[in-house]
Amino acid sequence: MPADSNLEILMAHYQQGDFSAAAILIDRLSPQLHRFFVAQFGSRADVDDLLQETWLRIHRVRHTYRPSEPVLPWFYAIARRVRVDHYRKSSRTTARQQALDEVSEIAAPVSPESGRLEDLAALLAPLSEGEREVIEMLKVEGMSLEEAARATSSTVGSVKQKAHRAYKKLRETMSATAFRKGHSGELS
């Protein structure tokens, strides 16, 4: 794990006031954190705002990072909190807007950045927020069970359970899709 330990070294330097280390961390981790947010939000503006808010929070709380701990779960825990805060804020805003005026039933289409992101979002749609989060961390970001547990403030057992449930739902969804495609050809 030399790449991860390099991140810990960079974070230690950042804590000591080395802002060139911060710039390297931002360059290296922003794409991962960006993907973390893209899987949940279709709006590029929201994703960019969340990424910026994450780095601002990291800067404000960098003194709380313990150098003896892996840094990646610490970053994801902050990103997760930013995402939750954004969801809560947008829920409150939406509730207020609905109370002020009747919202039309027409939903604006979300334009994904690429077909792959749309496919990933569609594949993960049947999962609960917690299951989606665990799958993103384990399979998209390549985090270990321990890292995902730290990032979600839960136990390894809880992460395993969410992953197991998510895999089961994904298998069922994919089997149903394959079944429909197989039978749609017979009807033609």
Domains 1-100 and 111-188 agree in fold: no
| Amino acid occupying residue 158 | S
Task: Please write the tens of the pLDDT for every residue from 137-164.
Answer: 888 888 888 888 888 888 989 989 998 9
pLDDT tens digit sequence for 165-186: 988 888 887 777 666 666 555 5
Q: Which CATH architecture has domain 111-188?
A: Orthogonal Bundle (1.10)
- pLDDT at position 75 is 94
For domain 1-100, which CATH number applies: 1.10.1740.10, 3.90.120.10, 3.40.50.300, 3.30.1360.120? 1.10.1740.10
Q: How far is CA 184 from CA 43, 122, 167, 176, in A?
A: 33, 20, 25, 12
What pLDDT does residue 9 have?
Answer: 93
Q: Would the pLDDT of 108 be above 50? A: no
Q: Where are the domains of the chain?
A: 1-100, 111-188
Pairwise CA distance, residues 143 & 69, whole Å: 14
At residue 128's C-alpha, the angle toward residues 126 and 134, to 5°, is 110
